[in-house]
Structures are given as structure tokens and as C-alpha cells.
Structure 1
Amino acid sequence: MKIVVVSDNHGNTYFMEEIYSIHQEDTDEWIHCGDSELLVDHPLWHTYKTVLGNMDITNEFQLMRSEDIGQLRYLVAHGHQHNIKRSYSKLSKIAKKEDAQIVFYGHTHIPKVEKEDEIIFMNPGSIAQPRDRHKGTYLVLTLDDEATIAECTFYDQDHNKVEELSTKVALRK
């Protein structure tokens, strides 16, 4: 199973469309972690599942969403209302309540994968406005058949693999 995750494109649709054109044949789920600055009726929302970010121009998006795909349950939040720059604790509590194994979030513009309190927190970084590197990033998550191992592969906006960010993580059952 393959999931593509982007965040913080801040009005730039070029990268999201290009990512879709590259990965559309073999991707099962498309996630956007907020700050798109696009209207709710934008055609990209036919593909990407999104949430409300602090810079979004509409409040019609959900603040958070939990979803199931196969044996995986995940939570998506931008993180701006969950103090994500300081701690995972608020989102961790919500993830546990929702029985989510993974939390996808944005807001910081910094790509990372971290495990805390048996929850995997993943930030794809910003595809258009990176804060810790020269090129924006996005995440491709590949799950094994039992959804026990997640291969997290980060790519830059030119679709080159970012080796130092990419990793494998074990998911709880």
C-alpha cells in the first residue's frame, strides 16, 4: 500500500499536480496536511484528503481527520492548534483516542519521522516553502501487507530521494 503526503504548498499547485502525475498509477491514498491556501472546491481535493491550516483562506476544511486504509488507522492535522512546535502531547492524546497508529502533520515546514508514546509522527515538510533546506519535500509511505512496517521515503520537489530523511519504522498492531 502506498500513501503520498504533502503539506504547506501555500497556493502553489504546480508541485501537487506534478506529484500526482508521477505517482497516480500506484498510490492508494493522497494526504495534504494543511496550508494549501486553496478554496474548498479546488479540483485537487478530488484526490487529496486535506485539513485546515492556519493560512488557509477557507474554514470549510476539517481541523483534523482520522481515516482507515487497509489495516492502518491514521490521523491528519496541520498542528497549529495542537502546539505541534513544542510537543506531540496534544496530538498523541487524540491519536490514542482515535486508535491511530500514525499522525501526519504539517505547520513546521520541517520534514521528519519520530516515534513517541507508540505513535509515529510524520511531517512531509513543505513542498513549496522549506525552512531547513533549499528544496521543498514530500513523503511517500509504503506499507507492507500486514501494515506492520512503514517505509518512509522523502523526496525533494525535483523528485530526488532525500536519503538522510528516509527511514523504516515499525507500526503497532
Structure 2
Amino acid sequence: MRIICVSDNHGNTYYMEELLSIYQEEADEWIHCGDSELLETHPLWQNYRTVRGNMDIAEGFKTERVEELEGDRFLIVHGHRHGVKRSYNELKTRALEENCQFAFYGHTHIPKVEEEDGIFFINPGSIAQPRDREIGTYLIMDLDKDNHQVSFIYYDRDHNEVKELTKSFNLTD
């Protein structure tokens, strides 16, 4: 399963539309971790599953989502209500309550993936307004359940792999 994940585009739709045109045929799912600053009626939401961030004015977005895809459960939040700038404690609690192995979040504008107690905490960074680099980032997550592997491949918005961020993990049953 291949998931494309972005966050914090802050009104810029160009890169999200470009990702759709590039990965349309090979992506199984599209995740957006909030702060889009777009209305609920925007055509991008026909593809991306999104949540409400602290800068979003659209009332129709959920503050968190739990999605089940091919038997795996995914928690999607923006992160501002879960204290992600301090720790993963609140996000971890929600992931455990919802029986999710993968917790996607945004808000910090800093791309990273970490595993703690069997839960993967995944931030694609900001595609439009990065805080720790010059060029925004997005993430492709490849989940290969047959080989018990998950890969998190980061790209800058010019579609160059950011090798120092890319990680692969063995999954345990």
C-alpha cells in the first residue's frame, strides 16, 4: 500500500495538485494533516483525507480522523491539540485508544518519523512553509505487509528524495 502525505500547505494548492498528477496511478491513499486554509468544498478533498488545523477556518473538517485501510488503522491529526511540539504522549494515548499503529500529524512544519512502543509518529513536514529547511517536503509511505516492512520516503517539493529523512522499519506482528 502506498500513501502520499502532506501537511501545512497554508493556502498553496499548486504542490498538492502536482502530487496528484504525478502519483495518481500509484497511490492508494492521500492524507493531509491540516492547515490547508482551504474550504471544505475545494476539489482537492475528493482525493485527500484531511483534518482541521489551527489555521483552518473551515468548520466542516474533523479535528481527528481514524481510517482503516487494508486492515491497518491510521490516526490523522494536525497536532496542535495533542501537544506534538512537547512530546508524543497525548498522540500516543489517542493512537492506543483507537488501536492505531500509525499516527500522522503536522503543525510543527518539521518532517520526521519516529517509532515508539510499536506506534509510528509521522510528520510529512510543510510542503509550503518549512521551518527547518529551505524547500518544503512531503512523504510517501510504502507499507509492504507481505515482507513486514514499512518505508517512509521523504521528498522535497521539487521531487528530490531527502535521503537523510528517509527510513525503513521491520514490522512485528
The TM-score, its normalising length taken from structure 1, stands at 0.97
Distance 1:109 1:172 in 2: 29
What is the Cα deviation at residue 118 of structure 1?
Answer: 1.7
> Letter of the aligned partner of 1:59 in structure 2?
E
What is the Cα deviation at residue 24 of structure 1?
Answer: 0.5
Q: Is the 8 A contact 1:136 1:157 kept in 2?
A: yes
Distance 1:6 1:25 in 2: 17
| 1:85 aligned residue | 85
Q: Is the 8 A contact 1:8 1:33 kept in 2?
A: yes
The TM-score, its normalising length taken from structure 2, stands at 0.97
- How many percent of aligned residue pairs carry the same amino acid? 58
| 2:17 aligned residue | 17
Aligned residue for 2:3, secondary structure, equals strand
Q: After superposition, what is the alpha-carbon deviation per residue over 1:108-166, rounded to whole angstroms, capped at 9, x for unaligned?
A: 00000001122100000000000000000000001113483211100001001100000
Is 1:105 matched up with 2:112? no
> Letter of the aligned partner of 2:153 in structure 1?
T
Alignment of 1:124-135 (within 5 A): 124-135=124-135
| 1:162 aligned residue | 162
Aligned residue for 1:134, secondary structure, equals coil
Aligned residues: 173
> Letter of the aligned partner of 1:143 in structure 2?
L
| 1:40 aligned residue | 40
Distance 2:87 2:9 in 1: 23
Distance 1:145 1:166 in 2: 19
Deviates more, 1:54-63 or 1:4-13: 54-63
> Letter of the aligned partner of 1:13 in structure 2?
T
What is the Cα deviation at residue 172 of structure 1?
Answer: 4.3
Distance 2:163 2:37 in 1: 29
Q: Is the 8 A contact 1:71 1:146 kept in 2?
A: no
Aligned residue for 1:92, secondary structure, equals helix
| 1:2 aligned residue | 2
Q: Is the 8 A contact 1:111 1:137 kept in 2?
A: yes
Distance 1:172 1:71 in 2: 15
Which ranges in structure 1 are unaligned for 5 or more consecutive residues?
none
User: Stretches of 4+ moved more than 6 A in 1?
Assistant: none
Distance 1:73 1:171 in 2: 14
Change in 2 beyond 3 A, CA 1:137/1:70: same
Distance 1:128 1:147 in 2: 34
Which ranges in structure 2 are unaligned for 5 or more consecutive residues?
none
* Cα RMSD after superposing both structures: 1.1
Distance 1:146 1:53 in 2: 35
